[in-house]
Each structure stands twice: as structure tokens, then as C-alpha cells.
Amino acid sequence: MGTQSFRAIAYLQYLANAKSIQYIHSPFLFELMKYVFDDSDKNHHPSFSEIESYRKKLMKNEIRIQFEDFGAGSDADASPAVRQGKRIKDISIGDIASKAVKQGKYSRFLYRLVHYLKCTEAIELGTSLGITTSYLTLTCNQVRTVESDKNVLKVAEETWKDLSKRNIKSYSFDLNEKWSLLCKEIDTIDFLFIDANHRKEAMIRYTLQALPYIHQKSVIVLDDIHWNEETFEAWKILKARKEVSLSFDIFQMGVLFFDSNLSKQDFTLRY
């Protein structure tokens, strides 16, 4: 099945199965949804508008950059050229901002999730232009973020400079080679957002490499779980693992909890 056909069918299935808050009987999830799923103005941080204004500025940026495509799944499709065995893309910053950067709706969701759970540190795999990172800085003491391509990371660093974001520690390396080493350096993972290589094997490997460093209150969010059959299969495998207590799917993202006090349950939720 083609990617577009898979997404269309998956979205129809999601709409048919997604539950609203009034149908949720888990006390933990009910309380979480009351705040995290409420995208009304009352739950907006004063800095949201500044970040979204900067996003619009990036969308108008016609400067072109070249970056190495380490994985799969980017919406920012450009004409790839093979150079020295590597897949290179040439694309404008505006196109990346328009197609590949997380929508404001979901960046705000991540902000509220981290804020509600009182996570002091967050880790992001897949920096892109640094917009979602900027949202996470509003509630975390420190955000660590990894972008495989140095040219893309340079743009993100300008984003943070212009938005006066200083509680960010950024890295540029191939996740396939060094993510496990960073896990050891960090030692404890509170919140992990995986928005990098959209291949089944990579999504599963990144998550499994993080598991030795999680604790009862840790949360892992995987992006684009309905991107294609591979990413959905990865999501199904990961949420079924014995370490996972509660999990939920909001179509764009899947969220995993590891608190042994929670019952083993899986939800499809409307957001």
C-alpha cells in the first residue's frame, strides 16, 4: 500500500475509534486530558505568539541549504543527489518550515504535556529548525536536542538566538551511531520526544536504547506513528512491551508511560 493511501485509511480509522474525554474512565488519563488536550487561550503561554511569529518568518526564508538525509519520512521532499554514497537534499529554509516543522497545535501539546508532568529536562531527537525545541524550553530547566545535519542545526541555533533561548544543549551526530552513548551521558531520562528516522527498525532501536535510563515517571513520545505501515508497526510493537503501562495515540503522535501504578491500557484519543 502506498504511503498516502495508508495515511488516508489510517486517519479514517482514527476518527472512527478516537475517544473524547467524557468516555475516559482512567482517573490519571482523565485528569491529564483536562489540561493537556485543552488548546484554548487560557492554556497558552505568553511566549507562544512570539514563537509562532518566528515560524512565519522562517516560512518566508528563501535561503537554500543542503543537508544529508540520514533517515526516512521527511515531508520536506526535495530532489536528492547522491554524493559519495550519501543522500543529499537541497531545499529552502521556508520549505522546511512549511512542511517538516511540527505544527503549532502539536508543539503546544508537547509543552502542556511536559508542564503537566513537571518534567525538568527534555530530550528531543530531530531538532529540525528548533521551533518545537523552543516550546519545550518554556517549561523545562534544560532541553537536549539532536540534529544529524550541521547545516540544519545552524538554522535552529539562529532561531534560539533570536528567541533568546539559552537553556538548550544541542548535538549534531548520526543517531544510529551515538544515541546510546548520549543516553549513558545523560543517565536519567524524564521526557523523550523521538522525531527522527522514520524507519521501523530505527524507531524501535532508539526507544529500546533509552529504556535502561527511564524511571517510573518517564514519558516517551513518538512522532508520525501513522506515517506509513513501518512506523505504525513500530508503534504497535513498542506500546505492547512489558515496560509500558499506559499508552495513547492522538494520530500524529503516540505517548508511552512507564508508571507501574497505572493499569496496562491503550487508548486512541481525539485531539
Q: Is residue 237 situated within a structural domain?
A: yes
pLDDT reported for residue 1: 76
Q: Is the pLDDT of residue 70 over 70?
A: no
**pLDDT confidence band for 238 (50 / 70 / 90):** very high
How many Å apart are CA 39 and CA 259, to the nearest integer?
Answer: 26
Q: 248 with 195, same domain?
A: yes
Q: 177 with 262, same domain?
A: yes
pLDDT tens string 87-103: 678 899 999 999 889 99
Q: Do residues 111 and 91 lie in contact, with contact meaning Cβ atoms separated by under 8 Å?
A: no
Domain containing residue 90: 62-97
pLDDT reported for residue 78: 42
Q: 198 with 66, same domain?
A: no
Residue 247 amino acid letter? S
Q: 71 with 108, same domain?
A: no
Those residues with Cβ within 8 angstroms of residue 54's Cβ, 6 or more apart along the chain or in another chain: 131, 134, 159, 162, 163
If you average pLDDT over residues 157-186, what whole number do you get?
A: 96
Average confidence score pLDDT of the chain: 93
Retrieve residue 81's grid coordinates.
543527489
- Give the DSSP letter of residue 71: S
Q: Is the pLDDT of residue 264 over 80?
A: yes
Q: How much of the chain exceeds pLDDT 70, in percent?
A: 93
Q: How many CA atoms lie within 13 A of 60 on its CB side?
A: 5
Q: How much of the chain exceeds pLDDT 90, in percent?
A: 87
**Would the pTM count as exceeding 0.75?**
yes
If you average pLDDT over residues 123-141, what whole number do you get?
A: 97
Q: Is residue 56 situated within a structural domain?
A: no
Those residues with Cβ within 8 angstroms of residue 118's Cβ, 6 or more apart along the chain or in another chain: none
If you average pLDDT over residues 180-191, what whole number do you get?
A: 96
Number of structural domains the chain divides into: 2
pLDDT reported for residue 67: 82
Q: Provide the phi-psi class of 85: left if phi over 0, else alpha when psi is between -120 and 50, else beta.
A: left
**pLDDT confidence band for 25 (50 / 70 / 90):** very high
pLDDT reported for residue 85: 46
Torsion of CA 31, 35, 40, 45, to 10 degrees: 170
How many Å apart are CA 183 and CA 210, to the nearest integer?
Answer: 6
